[in-house]
Structure 1
Amino acid sequence: MPDRIVIDNCALATVDERDTEYARGHLVLAGDRIEAVGEGPAPRDLPDVVWRVDGTDHLATPGLVNTHHHFYQWLTRGLATDHNLFDWLVALYPTWSQIDEAMVYAAARGSLAMMARGGVTTAMDHHYVFPRGAGDLLAAEIRAAAETGVRFTAARGSMDLGTSQGGLPPDFAVEGTEEALTATEEAVDRYHDPSFGSMLHIAVAPCSPFSVSTELLRQGAELARRKGVRLHTHGSETVEEERYCHERHGMGPTDYFRTTGWLGEDVWMAHCVHMNDSDLAAFADSGTKVAHCPSSNARLAAGIARVPDMLAAGIDVGLGVDGTASNETGELHTELRNTLLVNRLGPHREKALTTRQALRLGTFGGARALGREREIGSLEVGKLADVVLWRLDGLGHSTIEDPVAALVLGPPAPVTLSLVGGRPVVEDGRLVTVEEEAVARGARHEARRLARIARG
């Protein structure tokens, strides 16, 4: 029999299809699976119990699922703070083109540690900058994720459309089309594990309409479907992107993506801020999913995504940190609060989102975006034991009676315990898989080295 962990006496937000909650309930975890979820205390006579956790004054939720990130940007936080997306990219491309394997490893460790300490149990990264001679950058990220102990979707990105061909990135920052496709296929073949409970998925992820050729998009979609992996890119992020697509392709981003095979149930797109009713219908009809990044959208003045309208149309929406050069906190649990507040500034006002919907976006919505809803995203029997226990009896939360409201609207709640497949990643607010101080020192060293190289 597998060893069991019992979590007792906690509030429970299961985020199942009925949004079942218990004011005082229990979880029984057997090995890497959830064995029981229910009201009241767990049975006292369970065999093979190796750990009983008292969850009094805590809320248990599914682990958070991040659906969009750029780990390497951990080394360039706090730069170009007053720019829109296009100007920000142009300002930072020259620095990013100097990254190497040691830098990406340190940045990934920092990004992953920050998220994991804040309740993320499934991480995702979209890496699309591959300078020549920089080393194996994807392998560096994968190694960092394995050491941190979280599930990981590594989206092998690419850019092949430099400024000389009408793209936004400088020519020295892009790959050749065939080179990018070959490297992407090799990554899928080498790393992708489709099994239930997998710790590592690979996705095909050309960067954006203004940095990728039509041929790379089309062949990338064909590659992903031939290999049975998911597709990810940026879409409809800014008015400048909308204008670019109309000028270059004679149509908006969504219509352009449709012509290249980039709408479908196996696709999730980041941002999706500037979408009309026809765009929303196309996403809903095709099953295309969205990674909503409210803090980054605000930081770069991109606008407010129509999340309430997406949900009403039946579009699956998850949450994303986005790169920490445009969301310096690097935490996903702060996005629960920000997605609710930002969307209430839109036309739906106080009816835009509820606290329960915000939590669902950060858990089950993310699982749907990554194609892992049968495994993670809710606390249900048979699913993987990816569980977070949030402490709510401290100064920041003790007077908020509703535990879900406390988690979503209050300050960032301390994580008493975070489990990935039943294995502890965080205990009492500290990472147990890596040394936080060492991660911080390593990232600082590599950030300073990158800055020196970029200055010439």
Structure 2
Amino acid sequence: MIIIENCAVATVDAAGTEYADGHLVLDEGRIVAVGPGHAGRYHRSVRRVDGTGCLATPGLVNTHHHLYQWATRGLAQQENLFGWLTTLYPVWAGLDAETVAATTAAGLGWLALSGCTTSTDHHYVHPAGAGDLMAAQVAAAGEVGLRFHPCRGSMDLGASRGGLPPDHVVETIDDALAGTADAIDRFHDPAADAMVRVAVAPCSPFSVSPELMTEAAKLARSAGVRLHTHLAETVEEEHYCRTEHGCTPVEYAEQLGWLGDDVWLAHGVHLDDAAVDRLAGTGTGVAHCPSSNARLGAGTARVRDLLDRGVPVGLGVDGPASQEAGQLGAELRQALYAARLRGGPAALTAREALALGTVGGARCLGRAAELGSLEVGKLADVALWRLDGLGHAGIDDPVAALVLGPPAPLELLLVGGRPVVERAELRTVDERDLVRRGRRAHRALLRKARR
């Protein structure tokens, strides 16, 4: 049993309950009490954590990422999405299981240090002979200790058939579907406290054929897993869909069976009113990636409009090759800033930004009953942020301090009650080893690309 007390608590429940001086009690991986004041006496072995100067929130939920891109950060710095992809596809063609294991561990370790307890990953590059990439990812996630939602991605529409990726990095439809089914069979866990859940995730309209999109949706629904893809990220994609398919990206997705309450879409930047209404009417979620959208000059998502219409919206870091900072905690502030640049100073509050990064993400992943808020019965995934340092001095509102202030160090990060970060240091893995492995993966991948 773990008791956290003497801290501010932002539960992010439906009522927005907060305590200026509160406590949490965690037992057997779940929250068993949350409230004001001290926790009281317990007659069992208890670890008590003094949270003086701290704010407790739900652990953050990352709804979109490409962890393999850790090995290609800092490249194609002035390109839009299509130019960035065509520059990097030949480099990613050299991926193998060792590189994917190293980048997954490094990326998840860094996410943990920014308050993330649950992360997706969208891996869609499967070069021939690369080895068991999904197994490498799942093992690395287990090593770091985060809840992991690997999305088995795929591409079958190479350049010779009008797609964007080169032919040598795409799969056949049969291979893509077989690899996806295998990932579900081996790794998906439907249990409420699951550490690994698999989603079906063909990459995008410009790299996947309609046939693969349609068959992948059928596979996902027959297996009872969620669906994920990129959609409406750039004006170039909008033009591609209108030229190739005679419709908008959202209309195209609907034609293929890719809208529904079991679907969440990455980005959703270029949406007209009809598209927003269709997402709302079908319960389709959106992974908002403000820093990546800014890095690539893709635009600013209509987050206020999406929220007002009831669309589930979570936050995503996106791949570290288009968002080199790679931190989820910082995306709270970026989401607030992006919304206000689009809609003015009242477009998004600090508490709404925190909700995007917690319960909003849990809704996108279909886990709002288990994650995303500090409520009795939910999983003990908790971030305890230290806000009593110089950088936050004088900001009396702890949620505003977290969202608007500088990155807050973590006093404690728990996943199912297990410490992953303590006093701003990883406890499950050696950070220095992650650095070494990440550098080695980066150098090896670039060497392959130069051959």
Shorter chain as denominator, the TM-score bin is: over 0.9
Once the two structures are TM-superposed, the CA of residue 47 in structure 1 deviates from its matched residue by 2.1
1:308 and 2:304 matched: yes
Q: Which residue of 2 aligns with 1:245?
A: 241
Q: Which residue of 2 aligns with 1:291?
A: 287
CA distance in structure 1 between the partners assigned to 2:233 and 2:360 by the alignment:
20
CA distance in structure 2 between the partners assigned to 1:395 and 1:157 by the alignment:
43
List alignment gaps of at least 5 residues for structure 1.
none
Cα shift readout 1:45-77 (whole Å, capped 9, x = no counterpart):
212242000001100000000000000000000
Q: Which residue of 1 aligns with 2:16?
A: 19
Q: Which residue of 1 aligns with 2:117?
A: 121
Of 2, 5, 13 in structure 2, the residue corresponding to residue 5 of structure 1 is 2
For 2:256, the aligned partner's letter is T
Of 363, 368, 374 in structure 1, the residue corresponding to residue 363 of structure 2 is 368
Of 81, 94, 98 in structure 1, the residue corresponding to residue 94 of structure 2 is 98
CA distance in structure 1 between the partners assigned to 2:27 and 2:65 by the alignment:
31
Aligned-partner SS, 1:225: helix
Aligned-partner SS, 1:351: coil
CA distance in structure 2 between the partners assigned to 1:427 and 1:254 by the alignment:
43
Aligned-partner SS, 2:326: coil
Cα shift readout 1:328-383 (whole Å, capped 9, x = no counterpart):
0111001000000011111x211110000000000000000000001010000000
Aligned-partner SS, 1:433: coil
Instruction: Map residues 430-449 of structure 1 onto 2, 5 A cutoff.
Output: 430-449=425-444
Q: TM-score scaled by structure 1?
A: 0.98
Q: Which residue of 1 aligns with 2:391?
A: 396
1:69 and 2:92 matched: no
Of 145, 149, 153 in structure 1, the residue corresponding to residue 141 of structure 2 is 145
Aligned-partner SS, 1:29: strand
For 2:5, the aligned partner's letter is D
Q: Which residue of 1 aligns with 2:230?
A: 234
CA distance in structure 1 between the partners assigned to 2:390 and 2:158 by the alignment:
51
Once the two structures are TM-superposed, the CA of residue 446 in structure 1 deviates from its matched residue by 1.2
Q: Which residue of 2 aligns with 1:168?
A: 164
Aligned-partner SS, 2:250: helix
Aligned-partner SS, 2:421: strand
1:358 and 2:375 matched: no
Cα shift readout 1:93-149 (whole Å, capped 9, x = no counterpart):
000011111001111011000001111000110000000001011111110100000
CA distance in structure 1 between the partners assigned to 2:130 and 2:181 by the alignment:
19
Say whether the 8 Å CA contact 1:6–1:49 is kept in structure 2: no
For 2:409, the aligned partner's letter is P
Once the two structures are TM-superposed, the CA of residue 30 in structure 1 deviates from its matched residue by 1.0
Question: After TM superposition, where is structure 1 displaced by more than 2 Å over at least 4 residues in a row?
Answer: none
Q: Which residue of 1 aligns with 2:338?
A: 342
1:380 and 2:380 matched: no
CA distance in structure 2 between the partners assigned to 1:5 and 1:225 by the alignment:
39
CA distance in structure 2 between the partners assigned to 1:189 and 1:138 by the alignment:
12
CA distance in structure 2 between the partners assigned to 1:127 and 1:47 by the alignment:
47
CA distance in structure 2 between the partners assigned to 1:48 and 1:66 by the alignment:
35
1:423 and 2:418 matched: yes
Aligned-partner SS, 2:16: coil
CA distance in structure 1 between the partners assigned to 2:45 and 2:323 by the alignment:
41
Of 296, 299, 319 in structure 2, the residue corresponding to residue 323 of structure 1 is 319
CA distance in structure 2 between the partners assigned to 1:81 and 1:47 by the alignment:
58
Q: What is the aligned length?
A: 451
Q: Which residue of 1 aligns with 2:402?
A: 407
1:194 and 2:193 matched: no
Question: What is the aligned-residue identity percentage?
Answer: 61
Of 104, 107, 114 in structure 2, the residue corresponding to residue 111 of structure 1 is 107
Q: Which residue of 1 aligns with 2:155?
A: 159
For 2:436, the aligned partner's letter is R
Cα shift readout 1:216-257 (whole Å, capped 9, x = no counterpart):
000000000000000000000000000000000000100000
Once the two structures are TM-superposed, the CA of residue 455 in structure 1 deviates from its matched residue by 1.0
Of 79, 83, 97 in structure 2, the residue corresponding to residue 83 of structure 1 is 79
Aligned-partner SS, 2:391: coil
CA distance in structure 1 between the partners assigned to 2:367 and 2:392 by the alignment:
31
CA distance in structure 1 between the partners assigned to 2:248 and 2:113 by the alignment:
39
CA distance in structure 2 between the partners assigned to 1:121 and 1:187 by the alignment:
22
CA distance in structure 2 between the partners assigned to 1:288 and 1:118 by the alignment:
27
Cα shift readout 1:292-343 (whole Å, capped 9, x = no counterpart):
0000000000000000000001001000000000000111001000000011
CA-atom RMSD, angstroms?
Answer: 0.5
For 2:427, the aligned partner's letter is V
Aligned-partner SS, 1:426: strand
